[in-house]
Amino acid sequence: MHINQRQLFFNHLAQTSDFPLAIEIDRAEGVYMYGTNGQRYLDLISGIGVSNVGHRHPAVLAAIQQQMDKYLHLMVYGEFVQSPQVRLAEALTQTLNLPQAQTAPYGRINNVYFSNSGTEAIEGALKLAKRFTGRPEVISCFNAYHGATQGALSLSGAEFFKRNFRPLIPGIRQIQHGATADLDMITNKTAAVVIEVVGGEAGVRVPEVAYMQALRKRCTEVGALLILDEIQTGFGRTGTFWAFEPYGIYPDVLVSAKGMGGGMPIGAFMASQEVMSVFKNNPILGHITTFGGHPVSCAASLATLTVIRDQQLEEQANAKGDLIKSLIQHPMVKEIRGKGLMLAAEFDSFEVLKKVIDRCIERGVITDWFLFCDNSMRIAPPLTITEAQIKEGCEIILGVLEVGV
């Protein structure tokens, strides 16, 4: 008997909107996903911000296979010496061995705490900042997204998403991303500022170098930790391995997830040993997790990191992003902005954009909009996308725009 998977999806999977894409994929490879309907889809959003090295990268699959043959879960986090965790932590901290680390108040980031997801990593980073500084307040940005659990949701810069879940955690204040005048709100009561370098869900907002430097300076002056959320921007997405690198600043805590796992679930928050060591006492076991840093996810992540670095995919992201910017030129596109392969093409309205997105999907190209910017099209393909595949995708988008909506 043929079971209609789509119907079962609607019957039995918790729905988060009345209009899920509900595309059924049979398999995925590289930049393509293959639907059960026979359609081949070009993935221009990396599902979302995850498949930086494409779907099922052979090096990632091999690393998963090798680890599967050794062990899966052994013990809760932080007790046993698990080689995939150790090797990944070492490799991550090597990416953070940058000259600007010397100017960071607590020195170079050399400690990694692994989680299962982005929002969990944010939760851990929040606890770390409160415990390290002993302060009550945290600052985040309007229109920022840091996750859906209660702490991360409290940071969210959109009242619409928070209102019906209150009470959330107290002591959170919002500033405008990129507005130097707001930096005065960071005071000696502030435990941390949590901020994305490039504001993702706000619709890809690239700040000025001077702003990021002023932010760093202010945090240092008042003793607040600078927590950079690189969950979307890290692992080569914006043209450097970490988005903060070209800004000449260095965070106190760095948060990663999404693209980090090469398609496997993993997140991390990273800090210097001095900062991280507060979790050891008062209370002992200040932050614990069962599955954080799962050995298979860590193995996949190390393979992902190695592929990006060896093939210099982060550098390629710049030329590829520029190519997309040059191709997506059309009167219906008001602006195309972004950095590396993290791009947003702005339309007149959500209504227009939604029609364009739907028609692109019919023609086999997956794009999307942003949580807090619904008139802009998300374009963030795997960093492995080729020039020919970029042209193929852009031609389909332009073809849809030519017909008009």
Residues of the shown chain interacting with ligand PMP in the complex, contacts defined by CB under 6 A: 117-119, 122, 145-147, 196, 200, 229, 231-232, 257
CB-nearer residue toward ligand PMP: 215 or 400: 215
Smallest gap from Cβ 396 to ligand PMP, in A, equals 25
CB-nearer residue toward ligand PMP: 212 or 400: 212
Smallest gap from Cβ 135 to ligand PMP, in A, equals 22
Please state, in angstroms and rounded to a whole number, the distance separating the CA atoms of residues 74 and 345. Answer: 46
Smallest gap from Cβ 1 to ligand PMP, in A, equals 36
CB-nearer residue toward ligand PMP: 175 or 401: 175
Strand, helix or coil at 135?
Answer: coil
CB-nearer residue toward ligand PMP: 111 or 119: 119
CA 283 to chain centre: 30
Which residues, listed in sequence order, are joined to residue 174 by a DSSP beta bridge?
140
Matching residue, tokens 């332009």: 398
Sheet holding 368-370, edge to edge: 335-339, 342-346, 373-379, 368-370
Contact 126, 151 (CB under 8 A): yes
Where are the strands (E) in 56-170, listed by range? Answer: 111-115, 137-141
Using a 10 angstrom Cβ sphere, with 0-12 exposed, 13-18 middle and 19 or more buried, the burial of residue 155 is buried
CB-nearer residue toward ligand PMP: 110 or 116: 116
The token duo for 239 is 């043209």
CB-nearer residue toward ligand PMP: 147 or 236: 147
Smallest gap from Cβ 116 to ligand PMP, in A, equals 8
Contact 320, 379 (CB under 8 A): no
Please state, in angstroms and rounded to a whole number, the distance separating the CA atoms of residues 78 and 86. Answer: 11
Smallest gap from Cβ 140 to ligand PMP, in A, equals 11
Q: Which residue is nearest to ligand PMP (CB)?
A: 118
Smallest gap from Cβ 387 to ligand PMP, in A, equals 27
